[in-house]
A and B are shown apart, each in its own frame.
Chain A
């Protein structure tokens, strides 16, 4: 019974979103804006591809590096420096993402590369933090039992520490990816391309249709990415330590 309640709870936002999306779609159609938006479908296709490239490259690199660095900081031999490193990460996180992009532009010039690097850094930091914290809060008696039973350090990491930290790690990934897709439109401002081009140009030209042609796919992408990582949390985290599947 609890399982049913939980899954209903985890699905209901998507139903609500679907309802809102349908209402908006009807509104657009009724007001004639839909036709206006669809005039840009060629641009939408091209820029969405560019946009997805930014998100996919910066996001996947951030997941790989973020989880890797988080694990590295959590190792016993890093204990002396890990807390200061996390403090530094927290400080960097507090820099607004627009600021990070601007800084990247001053180092790397304009174009897709500084945009990708800027997005990568913005996405990386919360993943490092959650990976480190997730592993750190695995109770010491679990790793003690694991070692006492004859697990080598790598086995302890793979079979005990990571599975027990995975929910927190994926929560970090989910938040970080929300930041990533939310910030990606700004990449346009430093010449990174993407759907931001339609949004910002639409605002400047006071072309509502053009702006929505960028904004709607951006919103849909954000919802899709959140859904994807929500599902990852549900299915990848072992049932015994998964609050979404608690019995």
Chain B
């Protein structure tokens, strides 16, 4: 869907040329979220901005659905790519509905159609249109503004979204909520998303693939579980943190390691787990109660199976030895 080939950007400075992005190659598949991860100044944002040509590459190619983006008028290109930035960038001179209608208006939609689309998107994001459509950005909270920033990027239903640290300015509680909401929406919309982040927890949570950058180079491109299990080098290992096993536990669901046993005993003194719980919760319960196994129950409280310490360890070893 999006392919980067030997993408390079150098800047001429008084002290000589500086390479911001150095020969980056990777491909993002349709419907996937790829998080560009790394410390500040690593080239992740520059890479993102080359995709919609806000930054012109020094060399290398970007293909969008097989089409070389060099050959497309940048203004046309950008209208087909949703763009969300950290500062949100809602236009303070326009109401919420007008903000959402910016790209539709550029594409020549009439006022009634723009309004309908804005209301539809506000409903999708659980912001009642009657209450929000005619507000101005100065009348919104940070979380509401960022939701509307996302709605604006989705206005003409573009297949690709570029998001530059979109949730970084929010407080932790709001960020969690909006991340969950966004992932729920993404399961329905199946957009192809490039998402810049400097936060490993956010990356692990959001990504299908993580592209981790270090001083302009792509050092590892892998699924989160694989990256946590097998960091490519010492930089990646230190960036993902010494608690990477705990982070991995969050990625694995009980259903993946559970041994079915419909007759499993339900111990009233122990909490039961659900198939959709992650292993971090299970591990916490193992430690808290000093047990070797826990019973897994369905929503109705019927026993489905057991999850054991050994099964968890086996699952963690599985990826390690790949």
CB-CB < 8 A to A240: which residues of B? 92-95, 136-138
Give the contacting residue for B91; candidates A146, A147, A148, A150; CB below 8 A. Answer: A146
Interface size class of A (residues with CB under 8 A): 20 to 34
Q: Quick check: B85 and A160 within 8 Å, CB to CB?
A: no
B118-160, CB under 8 A of A: which get 1 and which 0? 0000000000000000001111000000000000100000000
Interface status of B54 (Cβ within 8 A of chain A): yes
Give the contacting residue for B93; candidates A145, A151, A164; CB below 8 A. Answer: A164
Instruction: Report the minimal beta-carbon distance from B111 to chain A, rounded to whole angstroms.
Output: 15
Instruction: Report the minimal beta-carbon distance from A151 to chain B, rounded to whole angstroms.
Output: 7
Instruction: Report the minimal beta-carbon distance from B76 to chain A, rounded to whole angstroms.
Output: 7
CA distance A202 to B83 in the complex (A): 67
Known A-B contacts A240-B92, A240-B137; A150 and B87 likewise in contact (beta carbons under 8 Å): no
CB-CB < 8 A to B139: which residues of A? 247
Interface status of B112 (Cβ within 8 A of chain A): no
Interface status of B192 (Cβ within 8 A of chain A): no
Q: Quick check: B89 and A145 within 8 Å, CB to CB?
A: yes
Known A-B contacts A239-B136, A240-B136, A240-B137; A147 and B54 likewise in contact (beta carbons under 8 Å): yes
A150-185, CB under 8 A of B: which get 1 and which 0? 111001000110011000000000000000000000
Q: Quick check: B92 and A149 within 8 Å, CB to CB?
A: no
Interface status of A144 (Cβ within 8 A of chain B): yes
In terms of DSSP, what is the predominant structure of the interface of chain B? mixed
CA distance A56 to B87 in the complex (A): 43
Count of A-B contacts with CB under 8 A? 70
Q: Quick check: A141 and B137 within 8 Å, CB to CB?
A: no
Interface status of A45 (Cβ within 8 A of chain B): no
Q: Quick check: A141 and B87 within 8 Å, CB to CB?
A: yes
Interface status of A27 (Cβ within 8 A of chain B): no
Give the contacting residue for A163; candidates B83, B85, B93, B152; CB below 8 A. Answer: B93
Q: Quick check: A164 and B92 within 8 Å, CB to CB?
A: yes
Instruction: Report the minimal beta-carbon distance from A69 to chain B, rounded to whole angstroms.
Output: 23
Q: Quick check: B93 and A147 within 8 Å, CB to CB?
A: no
Q: Quick check: B75 and A152 within 8 Å, CB to CB?
A: yes
Interface status of A142 (Cβ within 8 A of chain B): yes
Instruction: Report the minimal beta-carbon distance from B86 to chain A, rounded to whole angstroms.
Output: 8
Q: Quick check: A149 and B106 within 8 Å, CB to CB?
A: yes
CA distance A160 to B93 in the complex (A): 8
CB-CB < 8 A to A144: which residues of B? 54, 85, 89
Interface status of B78 (Cβ within 8 A of chain A): yes
